[in-house]
Amino acid sequence: MTRALAVFSLCALTACSDMSEQAKQRTYSPLVGPAQTPTGAVTFLFREPTAPPLTLALVERGQERFRIYCTPCHSELGNGQGMIVQRGFPEPPSFTSERLLTAPTRHFVDVIAQGHGAMYSYAARAPPADRWAIAAYIRALQKSQNASAKDLAAAQAEAAP
């Protein structure tokens, strides 16, 4: 009986195919076009194709969403000193660090969608439009933290009739 079970188990294990040899979409590979997608296949894209136009409404929506999702770790200032950090959670990077000041805006959208380091994905909580809004607000926050007197004078000159 045990010998028959062992032979059956061995046969069952050798019948399994190596799933790593199956065709699949690889991370960062070109996206499969609709003509190449098999019928009935479910497609999932992490990346939203383009950024929406930058408007005051977009930045205000981003501020609202940032306060809900991001301030517990990143703080209102985006300096990485949020409340849970003060309670012992690992400190996230400051949005005013050189690395994040020079990062493309899509970087923030991708991190929100996919997570990074200790940060988990917010894809289920923040839809693509909100991810772009949060990224726009992060850019506004970065500019406000690094503004110079020349920037302020230019903004006031543009606002004058």
Q: What is the per-residue DSSP string for 25-58?
A: PPTTSPPPPTTTSPTTPPP--SS-SSPPP--HHH
Q: What is the pTM of this model?
A: 0.66
- What's the CATH code of the domain at 97? 1.10.760.10
Task: Answer yes or no: is 124 within a domain.
Answer: yes
Query: How big is the chain by its Cα radius of gyration, in Å?
Result: 24
Task: Answer yes or no: is 153 within a domain.
Answer: no
Q: What is the pLDDT of residue 134?
A: 98
In terms of Cα–Cα distance, which of 109, 134, 92 is closest to 47? 109
Task: Answer yes or no: is 111 within a domain.
Answer: yes
Task: Answer yes or no: is 120 within a domain.
Answer: yes
Helix (H, G, I), strand (E, B) or coil at 127: coil
Q: What is the pLDDT of residue 145?
A: 86
Task: Answer yes or no: is 30 within a domain.
Answer: no
Task: Answer yes or no: is 44 within a domain.
Answer: no
- 145 burial (CB, 10 Å; 0-12 / 13-18 / 19+) is middle
Task: Answer yes or no: is 8 within a domain.
Answer: no
- The count of domains in the chain is 1
The beta strand positions in 4-131, using DSSP E, are none
Task: Answer yes or no: is 97 within a domain.
Answer: yes
Q: What is the mean pLDDT of residues 52-78?
A: 96
Q: What is the mean pLDDT of residues 139-161?
A: 77
Backbone φ and ψ for 116, nearest 5 degrees, come out as -165, 135
pLDDT digits (tens, 9 = 90+) for 28-40: 666 555 545 566 6
Range of the domain at 74: 56-146
